[in-house]
Amino acid sequence: MQYLHTMVRISDIDDSLDFYCNKLGMVEISRREEEAGRFTLIFLAAPEDAERAREDKAPMIELTWNWDPEELDGGRNFGHLAYRVQDIYALCRSLMDAGVTINRPPRDGRMAFVRSPDGVSIELLQKGDPLPEQEPWKSMENIGTW
């Protein structure tokens, strides 16, 4: 058995790609529009997984946009997506500067949570050992749910 991808339904392609690619740093690997089924599939990978995703079609996240409007609520019913990052403080600062709410700040230098435009919970985990605790993260409270 081999992990391939996680599918997440999205309500707006532009908002979702802005979040996942421009803000979170993921890379678009492929896109497919299915006129008969009235949906678009966009496959993304973390930068360090991009080459493997192109070769093996894994590991990826599949963003599914259904052309007919639908109500997307929750997003936590499956849990969360998790990504290992080089510098959790730098990424969280970059996300905050881009207007993303840090729902669970990296107080411990190891873990943070944010949410996509459609409410999907995303866990960010520091690569290797936790970074030394530092402000402003150490004093930040949780915001909303994660």
pLDDT at 76: 57
Q: Distance between CA atoms of 46 and 41, rounded to whole angstroms?
A: 17
pLDDT at 69: 83
pLDDT at 72: 75
- Answer for the pair 129, 48: CB distance below 8 angstroms, yes or no: no
Q: Which domains are delineated in the chain?
A: 5-66 (3.10.180.10), 81-139 (3.10.180.10)
Q: Edge-to-edge strand order for the sheet containing 121-126?
A: 81-85, 121-126, 111-115, 102-104
Q: Calculate the CA 41 to chain-centre distance.
A: 16
pLDDT at 22: 97
Catalytic positions, written as ranges: 123
- Residue 92, amino acid: C
Q: Distance between CA atoms of 16 and 10, rounded to whole angstroms?
A: 7
Regions of the chain short of the pLDDT cut 50: none
**pTM, two decimal places:** 0.83
pLDDT tens profile 32-47: 999 999 999 999 999 9
pLDDT tens profile 108-129: 999 999 999 988 899 999 999 9
